[in-house]
Amino acid sequence: MTKEIDLLVEQIDVRKDELIELLKRLIEYKTPAPPARNTMEAQQFVANFLRENGFSIDMWDVYPNDPNVVGFLEGKQADTFNSLIINGHIDVAEVNEDEKWEANPFIPIVKDGAIIGRGASDMKGGLAGALFAIKLLHEAGIDLPGSLTFQSVIGEEVGEAGTLECCKRGYTADFAVVVDTSDLHIQGQGGVITGWITVKSSQTFHDATRRQMLHAGGKLFGSSAIEKMMKIIHGLQELERHWAVMKGYPGFIPGTNTINPAVIEGGRHAAFIADECRLWITVHYYPNESHEQIIKEIEEHLLHVAKADPWLRENPPTFVWGGKSMIVDRGEIFPSLEVDPTHPGVKQLASAHQGIINSKAVVDVSPTVTDGGWLGAAGIPTAIYGPGNLQNAHSVNEQVSIEQLIEYTKVILTFIYEWCHTKRT
């Protein structure tokens, strides 16, 4: 590390109250999702902050009153030095009225060495630390040779993938850090996809015809879609057990790849045999798998299950996978993300961590999901690294340790400086 960056790192301790106030300011913006459509003021604050620190701004609505903000700082020697994306989401988990917070979750308080408020851990702490690092670099008059992009996105909590919209807009870099909740671990992640499985009869039948469908001599080829869905659920359970036996990934407890039958909807009226049943499932899969592969495995297995049943053979299940929003179309995709510990960006981030915290960086996998998978799917080498832990994310009295927030800010400042001062190989 150069003397220049040493002095800036020291400034974080001296000016820690400014860092705390910045995080408190971000928490004060009420951006829970659901209900969403409430991030405009917070995003305007981020845009103004970045603009004041030398960034050009691209701001556009992903949904009404829910804009993405991308700040871009072109490197002085952008053609030859590494570029970097810092990515984080401005939306936070919902708050229910009956939750027993110490204070208003959007009026943050400092207590026992922590900042308490909705989003402190997931993940306005990560945004605040990165923004403060950018401010210190700008105030010091440091011209980064490599380009720096800062993405403050919407919709992560409800699968609306503001990060995907950034990728579609063409933003890319040599490396990306998603500053989401990781307890200062450098992480990859598994993936998640939701799907709707539908069993539907081509005909409707009166409730009084049920005996003819079930008993000898009835001669009515029909069935309850609800009862046939029971066979589909049993088939999913068999596949889930098979995966648990046959699949694994370092860092995950065996059987983490699950198929959850989350919601079931069926039937139209008590006077009808149920002619339709829909099952909403959530599937978790490993970092070395894709959602396309998972879809293929589930559909093939369930169609084989259907072929073994006379009625399902004629009325096979149909599938709708993923979606753009848990609010709008009740579906989502979070692609998986594998982290290569030998990638120069990962190694440099680990080195910055060790230099600041005096302990070896942990490179592992997150048990949850972030938008990092979208960056990885776009071909950008990506890692998750941020303050806060999952015990606090989404919790009542959500909080982040001030000490960890300061450590993270020092690491991310150091990494931005060093990565953007490294020649592209």
pLDDT tens, residue order, the chain (425 aa): 578 899 999 999 999 999 999 999 999 999 999 999 999 999 999 999 999 999 999 999 999 999 999 999 999 999 999 999 999 999 999 999 999 999 999 999 999 999 999 999 999 999 999 999 999 999 999 999 999 999 999 999 999 999 999 999 999 999 999 999 999 999 999 999 999 999 999 999 999 899 998 888 888 889 999 999 999 999 999 999 999 999 999 999 999 999 999 999 999 999 999 999 999 999 999 999 999 999 999 999 999 999 999 999 999 999 999 999 999 999 999 999 999 999 999 999 999 999 999 999 999 999 999 999 999 999 999 999 999 999 999 999 999 999 999 999 999 999 999 999 999 98
Tell me whether residue 248 is exposed, middle or buried, using C-beta atoms within 10 angstroms of its C-beta: 0 to 12, 13 to 18, 19 or more. middle
83 beta partners = none
- The DSSP secondary structure of 327-375, one letter per residue, reads TTTS--EE--B---TTSHHHHHHHHHHHHHHSSPPPEEEESS--THHHH
- 37 and 153 share a domain? yes
Residues in the chain, overall count:
425
**Is residue 331 situated within a structural domain?**
no
Handedness of CA 362, 363, 367, 371 (dihedral sign): positive
| Cα separation values, 68 from 57, 374, 384, Å | 10, 15, 20
- 372 and 413 share a domain? yes
- 359 and 231 share a domain? no
- From its phi and psi, is residue 259 left (phi > 0), alpha (psi between -120 and 50) or beta? beta
Report the C-alpha gap between 305 and 231 in whole angstroms: 8
pLDDT, position 146: 98
pTM for the full predicted model? 0.95
Residue 40, domain extent: 3-189+337-420
pLDDT, position 372: 98
- 168 and 196 share a domain? no
Q: Which of 287, 321, 355 is the last residue of a domain?
A: 321
Are 339 and 383 within 8 A, CB to CB?
Answer: yes
**Is residue 175 situated within a structural domain?**
yes
Tell me whether residue 170 is exposed, middle or buried, using C-beta atoms within 10 angstroms of its C-beta: 0 to 12, 13 to 18, 19 or more. exposed
Q: Which of 296, 321, 346 is the last residue of a domain?
A: 321
- 373 and 298 share a domain? no
**Is residue 217 situated within a structural domain?**
yes
Q: And the tokens for 145?
A: 């040779």
Q: And the tokens for 54?
A: 């030398």
Residues 6+ apart with CB under 8 A from 124: 23, 26, 27, 90, 92
pLDDT, position 425: 85
pLDDT, position 3: 87
**Is residue 28 situated within a structural domain?**
yes
Q: Is 122 helix (H, G, I), strand (E, B) or coil?
A: helix
- 361 and 289 share a domain? no
Are 377 and 172 within 8 A, CB to CB?
Answer: no
319 beta partners = 197
- 136 and 203 share a domain? no
How many domains, in total, are found in the chain?
Answer: 2
- 201 and 285 share a domain? yes
Residue type, 286: Y
- 121 and 198 share a domain? no
Are 400 and 19 within 8 A, CB to CB?
Answer: no
pLDDT, position 25: 98
**Is residue 208 situated within a structural domain?**
yes
Report the C-alpha gap between 257 and 243 in whole angstroms: 7
Report the C-alpha gap between 159 and 7 in whole angstroms: 40
**What CATH code is carried by the domain that includes residue 36?**
3.40.630.10
**Is residue 425 situated within a structural domain?**
no
Q: Is 235 helix (H, G, I), strand (E, B) or coil?
A: helix
Report the C-alpha gap between 257 and 252 in whole angstroms: 9
**Is residue 326 situated within a structural domain?**
no
pLDDT, position 286: 98
**What CATH code is carried by the domain that includes residue 279?**
3.30.70.360
Q: Cite the active site residues.
A: 91, 156
**Is residue 215 situated within a structural domain?**
yes
Are 325 and 332 within 8 A, CB to CB?
Answer: yes
Q: Which of 265, 289, 321 is the last residue of a domain?
A: 321
- 147 and 205 share a domain? no
- 265 and 117 share a domain? no
Q: And the tokens for 82?
A: 């590494």
- 153 and 39 share a domain? yes
